[in-house]
Structures are given as structure tokens and as C-alpha cells.
Amino acid sequence: MKKQQEITYPLGTRPGDGDVIEVTEGVLWVRMPIPFKGLDYINLYLIEDTEGWTMVDAGFSNARIKGLWDEIFDKHLKGKPVTRLICTHFHPDHMGLAAWVMEKWGIPLTMSFGEWTFGRMLYLEAEEEVPDYILNFYRQIGFTPAMMREVEKRGFDMFSKAFHAMPMGFVRLEEGDVLNIGGHDWSVIVGTGHAPEHVCLHCKDKNILISGDQVLPRITPHIGVYPAEPFANPLQKFLASTEKFRHLPEDITVLPAHNDVFIGLNNQLDFYLEHHHERLARLKAACQSPKTAIEIVPALFDRVLEDRDMGLGIAEGLAHCHYLIGEGEMERNMGDDGVWRFVTKKSVQEKVA
Ligand SMILES: [Zn+2]
């Protein structure tokens, strides 16, 4: 993990709630609280345009964050309006207030097709009772009766509650699109793995990358498998995505959605490869005999996960198993109890041993 230490934080400070820091001329860093334990804050950005401001991500939807945005709009926009909203991806800490911002300023939402449709789908499918399809997914990955009761108690409308409303239309962004903001070109790089079609924005003139959740300092972005795509291989997609950022300059300033503005993009990408391959090696060793998604969690994490982190940990574990299945190194078999078990292939076991 030595490469992590080479990352630097050039601003040496961070904005407080409802405040901003100018990263460079015409680019403001906003920090907003989010009500998720362990994540706490999200970074959002405002880019000055000729006639107004482009906002990158809107924040989680609650009354306090709306109030903080109103203060920022009053104090920091030099009397100009917000004229464009870009959302990097559909997660509620990024997109929750998109509809509110759109209504407030009378502007469209700009994002990728995959993120908009997936977010809208999850928002609209809310139901009071958890559907059988979802319950079966959790049963098949080995949730205990107590864990199943928790799933049922949570209900199936948590996602829709995290949004002010879900925008009914959008303006599409695609890989390679170039937006001119304030006389500077910002090009779109689409990452995958954390979310289906995550938009990052690169400005060559300013030597800046707005990376959203695709590249984060200090931590690895969450890469998980969920019921909508139970056999997905998001870790393969995430690791392949790291290559899309390799052409960027070594000294580029990265503006991430969590933690602090940093320099050291390539080091962080190397760290992701190292980290996940080290976890994959642990997993191959742990699955010498068949294991459920729950039984593999202790092999993947150095700390004991609290209950609230367990769901994320299991989703990450599945992502690592599916990566090894994709590489032909692991098998998934359904036991007599209706639960999937993962086992390292015999030929690989001999090599691991
Ligand atoms: Zn995210």
C-alpha cells in the first residue's frame, strides 16, 4: 500500500457546510452532508460559465441541504444563475436534489442514458412490500432468517425516499462528448463498475478531472452485486475502466465526490489494481472448500463489519467471486439448501497451495 502515501492534497483544507473553496479560477468546491454513516460528506462542484454556472451533482434530498444550497446560490454565484446541471451517476447522494435544482432554475438535467434510466427505474419500482424476486436473491446468497427479517422490515421504497422527485427527462452525455463551459472544453470520460455509466469530466486547459465516485482518494469506490443484475461482473468493468484515465497527466488535480481534492491519479489507479488483486488472492485461498457469500466476508475485510456495513460487504464479496468466475478460476454451485456456494477451481487450488 506504499503508493497511497504518494498522493497529495494540494489545498490542505476543505469547505465547511454551506461554504465553498475555489479550486482554481472559475471552479468552486462545495461540500454537503449526507445521512449515511461512514460516508458523511459529498463534494459537489460549480463551474463558472459565461452567462451562469454549471453544477456537477446536486446532493442528497433533505430540507437542510436545500437550505445550504440557497445560501451558496445567494453568496457565491456573483449574481448569475445556475444554467446547467450535470449528474455523474444516479446514486441519491449525487442525484437526490436534481429535480429540485431543475425546478428552481428552470434548467434541464444532463447525464448519461444508463444512469438516468437506471435511477428512474429504481425510483419508480418502489413498493411497500419487498417483492419475492428480491427476497429470493437474498435467500440464495445465504441471508440468515434474522437478516431476511431486516430486509423485509426495510421495505422497498428506501431509494425513492432519497429523492426530491425523479426527473422525467434528460439531456444525454456520452463518452467523448465535449462541453464548452466558460470558454474551456470539458470532455466526458465514462467509467463503469461503481455505477452503470458514470460520467467524469476532464478539462485539459485547467488540468482538472472531476471524478465523481469513479476515482476516490483514501478509499476504493464501492463495487457491488445487487438483485437487478444478480450475475453481474462489475469488478471486471471497474478494473478495465482504470485504463481510461491512464492518458491523463501525472500532475492532474482530481476533484472527487468523497474525501479531498488530490494529486496522484495514477498512484490511486495502481492502488485499486493492487488492492483488488490482493483481495482476489485471499478469496481464492478462502474458497478451497465451498463458501457462501456471507462466509467469504471475513476473508475480504481486515475489520469485523458492523451490521449496517454487512450488506455492502456481501455485495462486494459477490463482485469479487463473479470476477473470479469470469476469469475461469472459480465455480458457483447451488447447494441442496437453495444457497449459492463459491469454490476455487481444482486446477487453481493446486497453484494457490
Ligand atoms: Zn456512487
CATH number reported for the structural domain that contains residue 288 in this entry: 1.10.10.10
- Residue 1: pLDDT band (50, 70, 90) is very low
Q: Is residue 149 part of a domain?
A: no
The arithmetic mean of pLDDT across residues 134-155, rounded, is: 94
- Residue 270: pLDDT band (50, 70, 90) is very high
Residue 33, C-alpha cell as written in the block? 452532508
Residues 24 and 93 in one domain: yes
Residues 181 and 286 in one domain: no
CA 71–ligand 1 middle distance (angstroms): 25
Strand duo 262-263 + 253-256: pairing: antiparallel
Residues 68 and 91 in one domain: yes
CA 351–ligand 1 middle distance (angstroms): 36
What does the pLDDT read at residue 5?
A: 58
The SS3 of residue 196 is coil
The arithmetic mean of pLDDT across residues 287-301, rounded, is: 94
What does the pLDDT read at residue 40?
A: 83
CA 240–ligand 1 middle distance (angstroms): 18
Tell me what the pLDDT averaged over the chain comes to. 94
pLDDT at 3 over 80: no
Q: Is residue 137 part of a domain?
A: no
CA 124–ligand 1 middle distance (angstroms): 19
pLDDT at 19 over 70: yes
Domains identified in the chain, total number: 2
Other Cβ atoms within 10 Å of 116 Cβ, number = 26
Q: Is residue 253 part of a domain?
A: yes
What does the pLDDT read at residue 87?
A: 98
The arithmetic mean of pLDDT across residues 233-255, rounded, is: 97
Residues 13 and 27 in one domain: yes
Residues 262 and 283 in one domain: no
Residues 207 and 255 in one domain: yes
Structural domain that includes position 270: 2-127+159-274
Domain-terminating residue out of 243, 274, 305: 274
CA 348–ligand 1 middle distance (angstroms): 34
CA 213–ligand 1 middle distance (angstroms): 5
What does the pLDDT read at residue 352?
A: 66
> Can you give the CATH number for the domain in which 221 is found?
3.60.15.10
Q: Is residue 292 part of a domain?
A: yes
What does the pLDDT read at residue 67?
A: 97
pLDDT at 340 over 50: yes
Q: Is residue 144 part of a domain?
A: no
Q: Which residues of the chain form beta strands (DSSP E)?
A: 20-24, 27-33, 41-48, 53-56, 82-86, 109-111, 171-172, 178-181, 184-191, 198-203, 208-212, 253-256, 262-263, 330-334, 340-344
CA 44–ligand 1 middle distance (angstroms): 13
pLDDT at 307 over 90: no
CA 333–ligand 1 middle distance (angstroms): 31
User: Looking at the chain, how many residues does it have?
Assistant: 353
Domain-terminating residue out of 221, 241, 274: 274
The arithmetic mean of pLDDT across residues 330-352, rounded, is: 91
CA distance 255 to 208: 7
pLDDT digits (tens, 9 = 90+) for 89-114: 999 999 999 999 999 999 999 999 99
- Residue 254: pLDDT band (50, 70, 90) is very high
Percent of the chain whose predicted confidence (pLDDT) is above 90: 88
CA 214–ligand 1 middle distance (angstroms): 8
Q: Is residue 284 part of a domain?
A: yes
CA 94–ligand 1 middle distance (angstroms): 7
Strand partners, 318: none
The arithmetic mean of pLDDT across residues 3-27, rounded, is: 88
CA 164–ligand 1 middle distance (angstroms): 17
The arithmetic mean of pLDDT across residues 306-312, rounded, is: 81
Residues 204 and 104 in one domain: yes
Percent of the chain whose predicted confidence (pLDDT) is above 70: 97
The helix or strand, by DSSP H or E, that contains position 202, with its residue range, turns out to be strand 198-203
pLDDT digits (tens, 9 = 90+) for 167-200: 999 999 999 999 999 999 999 999 999 999 999 9
What does the pLDDT read at residue 208?
A: 98
Residues 113 and 166 in one domain: yes
What does the pLDDT read at residue 2?
A: 47
What does the pLDDT read at residue 353?
A: 59
Query: CB neighbours of 300 closer than 8 A, spacing ≥ 6?
Result: 279, 282, 283, 313, 316, 317, 320
Domain-terminating residue out of 250, 274, 298: 274
Q: Of 315, 318, 246, whose CA–CA distance to 287 is shortest?
A: 318
Q: Of 63, 116, 35, whose CA–CA distance to 308 is shortest?
A: 35
Query: CB neighbours of 77 closer than 8 A, spacing ≥ 6?
Result: 46, 52, 53
